Amino acid sequence: MNLLALPAFADNYIWMIHNGAEAMVVDPGDAAPVSDALKRYGLKLTAILVTHHHGDHVGGLAALQRDDLPVYGPAAEAIGGVTQPVADGDIVIWQGLRFVVHDVAGHTRGHIAYFAPDGLGATDAAPLAFVGDTLFSGGCGRVFEGTMDQMHRSLNRIAQWPVSTRLCAAHEYTLSNLRFAQAVEPGNAALAQHVAHCEALRAAGLPTLPTTLATELAINPFLRCTEAAVQSAARAHDAADTAPASVFAALRLWKNTF
């Protein structure tokens, strides 16, 4: 199996998995990068996964749809073109790969993630997940429709996956997220190292994704709400107390205007 990040718009990635013959894509906000990749590699598109209803994730559905093409998406959101509505605990099987649906509401009310505990098969078995706009490297999605507590619970849920999990997020927001992360935790050595690593990747024109849960647990302030340094930074930015939920909400509000 091959995993590709197809660039779309200014900073989106449309993730593609293919086996040389058939392909699946996630959140095709635009059909053109998908059609181009299908043509370039000689592939047939045989499944689409959608994480949430925003236009930059679903805008390409109409142009890609076919009668025999299953389109999975959140049952809790009305999305034109979704043929297989799925909810928390449902399992999507494609080419023998297993994706478990997780409710990760917050960015939108029905946002879901697709977690593959066995990765991309026997020869590439590290777990992998498509997390949409819930978690980014060094940051998290804005809370548009859900509540701060919902988003915090969703991130905590992701944090329970194996630390080797590869996280495929839908946007290349890493460098700007890391600037905020360094404002929160200027003394985090792992963070400084990750900044250098990601700057080198971007300078070479490469994606900083997928990231891994192990990396995010070490550098992403939104997953580090129980760390003393993160708590004191949040307290200096209006967190009412050091409860993880208060710390999370204060960080998210701070980041909105950073």
**Footprint of Fe ion (CB under 5 A):** 56, 133
Q: 78: which residues sit within 8 A by CB, 6+ positions away?
A: 53
Name the residue nearer to Fe ion (CB basis): 56 or 185.
Answer: 56
Q: Kindly state whether residue 133 participates in binding Zn ion, applying the rule CB under 5 A.
A: yes
Active site residue 171: yes
Nearest distance from C-beta of residue 27 to Fe ion, angstroms? 8
Q: Can you tell me which residue has the tokens 């994730």?
A: 57
Active site residue 52: yes
Q: In this structure, what are the phi and psi dihedrals at residue 7, rounded to the nearest 5 degrees?
A: -65, 140
Name the residue nearer to Fe ion (CB basis): 99 or 173.
Answer: 173
Q: Kindly state whether residue 54 participates in binding Zn ion, applying the rule CB under 5 A.
A: yes
Helical (H) or strand (E) element with 197: helix 189-203
Active site residue 103: no
Report angle CA 90, 94, 95 to the nearest 5 degrees: 150
Nearest distance from C-beta of residue 133 to Fe ion, angstroms? 4
Active site residue 152: no
Map residues 89-128 to x or -, x wherever contact with Zn ion holds by CB under 5 A.
----------------------------------------
Q: What is the distance between the alpha carbons of residues 221 and 176, in angstroms, rounded to a whole number?
A: 13
Q: What is the distance between the alpha carbons of residues 134 and 144, in angstroms, rounded to a whole number?
A: 11
Name the residue nearer to Zn ion (CB basis): 18 or 111.
Answer: 111
Total residues interacting with Zn ion, rule: CB under 5 A: 2
Among the listed residues 53, 57, 102, 194, the single catalytic one is 57
Residue from 225, 195, 224 nearest 211 by CA: 195
Tokens of 71: 């389109």
Nearest distance from C-beta of residue 59 to Fe ion, angstroms? 11
Is omega for the bond preceding 210 within 30 degrees of 0, making it cis?
yes
Active site residue 102: no
Active site residues: 52, 54, 56-57, 107, 133, 171
